[in-house]
Structure 1
């Protein structure tokens, strides 16, 4: 891929982020305009990419006819490029970059990077439900105005003295980036196997570890909130109508696990109709429908959000308002075929060790936006 196409691809990725951010901020018209720009950029990329491919085909045709000498093909197979880098140990200095792989540069080709993102999104990730903010420093703060019950103005008679009123109060949320890491031993037989096996294995290991890490950190923060025992559908409705109230009920969801889904899937109304119904607009989305309440259900597998001591988790609320994920977005990957870690000797056992590091923090943004509920079931 030539320099012009690579720069255009960077603009496309940046524009995608802009569209997402505008949509998340409910700036719909601006998001639509940005999306149109994104479509235009993508169309330009496709045209230039096709022209480059046509040029290469012409060169190959001339070579076959003996009209020109063999030339280097500028268009590289990203999967093979990634696989060859893996076989050669990546030659990493200290971090992932999008430079050339020649001198200490670990290149993740564009399609491989996309596949990693797609893989992570195909799994159930709580990170998709919370407020994610990318940060550029390891430590920082955000200022919020405190909630307070205002009482309104006081009636004052003619020539009467006007009394003082309370002013807004503020508080800060602090984050501090931590490092999370792990190493992955890979047999050199695997690295000598097909390109597809190498990429799939590395994508699965690194991508899924990142997803599980995010889920763990988010659930740890939710667990810091007081547990609320829910006896049934009436307590769920009370959590929505009263505890969360009109500030959060319209944007709330119920996040539960497979056991919670089984519980909800057996609930019926007085007429024997099941309360769990598909959303008519999006049949793949389930909703709990009871009277005036219709709330979306998000199911996290038991492996990611376990039922503990017969207490099925029922997290109710708006996690985008309740939880903040601070993403430093630094992923360091380093490999070695001679490293020794404890009893593991890469050289002796013919292994390659991959070390992955990421940095992030998760904090409670607004505890009033979440009900940390559970329903006790009989084993």
Structure 2
């Protein structure tokens, strides 16, 4: 077997170990999973590890036999400047395309010892995060929590009905127990999300800046689409008590004034899509003026009842209903309190010219992996409303 095939076999085996370990982690936090199932999952983890280790031994043996002698160069010095890091990344990227990239020398390993491919440098990840804002990234409106572990827990304290202290002027009265805070544990488990793109060797002829620009743009688009979908899926889990329809301005006021906690009034905002914003932008107040007003602190944003309106593309936040009678989405509240995104901050690239049909078509496939988890945190911090049309305010009746 050729060196490249051995390398891809080893990398694939490592990913299977990660998948088996993730399945075991999910089972550990699932109360309905039986002990027998846990035993089977544990045995599967051990079996995949054995296969991964065997694939690594075969890869090492191939190197000893001279199959990969051209790859036995000494590791390059660790770059210590942003420019040097980018240059090293581009060099490794090109080496992966041409098949001269040595997995044993350069591939980073995760905490389980599995190959994760070419890790995206921090400064390029920062550029990806900045670019994602241009693609209507919902994660900029939720709370992003960097984590270093694959799984963990957070303790959430819920608001509960609080009773006052008891008057104990009577010497024979006893003191009641005070209210204890109501709390529950939220568990997160980092998931891996991947996408594949087909590239050609013409990319090798581009400058370092062009290659980084291509990688950054592609990662930003794919990561934005993936994280948006998971954030909206989490919000879809809101209970029925936090979902309603609105038909006029008073309905919106009822949501803001009654359904949202007063503590959220200063941080609450509206989130809708292009179509929903278009309908809101036509609503007029009792004096015939448009209800949406420019935000004096942000010229590109408008205010609805003194709170900012955030607009994202219809392709990310879709309409409901039918084409002839659509319903428009309108989230009201504070998404940073409602949703938590646990970010593993470990994006990576892997390439192959053998697997995924690349060998048959003489192509090169590049796969990006993003690692994160999204959880609904405070379900009372946001209300999901829908509307087909918001009626104009009726003019005030003049005194006779």
TM-score normalised by structure 2 residue count: 0.66
> Counterpart of 1:285?
301
> Counterpart of 1:207?
220
Distance 1:351 1:192, change over 3 A: farther
> Counterpart of 1:49?
none
Report deviation, 1:156.
3.2
Q: What does 1:1-379 align with in structure 2 at a 5 Å threshold? A: 82-89=89-96, 91=101, 93=103, 106=118, 112-168=124-180, 169-193=182-206, 195-225=208-238, 226=240, 227-289=243-305, 294-309=306-321, 310-337=326-353, 339-341=354-356, 344=357, 346-377=358-389
> Counterpart of 2:62?
none
| 2:328–2:387 CA contact under 8 A, matched in 1 | yes
| 1:244–1:370 CA contact under 8 A, matched in 2 | yes
What is the CA–CA distance in structure 1 between the aligned matches of 2:117 and 2:335, rounded to whole Å? Answer: 38
| 1:96–1:332 CA contact under 8 A, matched in 2 | no
Cα deviations by residue, 1:45-79 (Å, 9 ceiling, x for unpaired): xxxxxxxxxxxxxxxxxxxxxxxxxxxxx996877
SS of residue matched to 2:153 = strand
> Counterpart of 2:396?
none
SS of residue matched to 2:202 = helix
| 1:81–1:109 CA contact under 8 A, matched in 2 | no
For the aligned residues, what is the CA RMSD? 2.8
Distance 1:335 1:253, change over 3 A: same
| 1:116–1:207 CA contact under 8 A, matched in 2 | yes
Cα deviations by residue, 1:304-326 (Å, 9 ceiling, x for unpaired): 11112222110110011111111
| 1:185–1:351 CA contact under 8 A, matched in 2 | yes
Report deviation, 1:211.
1.2
SS of residue matched to 2:346 = strand
SS of residue matched to 2:219 = helix
| 1:125–1:211 CA contact under 8 A, matched in 2 | yes
Report deviation, 1:252.
0.3
Report deviation, 1:105.
8.8
| 2:120–2:347 CA contact under 8 A, matched in 1 | no
> Counterpart of 2:398?
none
Report deviation, 1:179.
1.3
| 1:215–1:304 CA contact under 8 A, matched in 2 | yes
Distance 1:141 1:84, change over 3 A: closer
SS of residue matched to 2:166 = coil
Report deviation, 1:140.
1.3
What is the CA–CA distance in structure 1 between the aligned matches of 2:228 and 2:389, rounded to whole Å? Answer: 24
TM-score normalised by structure 1 residue count: 0.69
Distance 1:275 1:159, change over 3 A: same
| 1:83–1:199 CA contact under 8 A, matched in 2 | yes
Distance 1:336 1:110, change over 3 A: same
Give the unaligned 5+ runs of structure 1. 1-73, 98-103
Give the unaligned 5+ runs of structure 2. 1-79, 110-115, 391-400
How many residues in Structure 1 have an aligned counterpart in Structure 2? 291
Cα deviations by residue, 1:209-267 (Å, 9 ceiling, x for unpaired): 11111111110010111331112221111111100031212110100000111011101
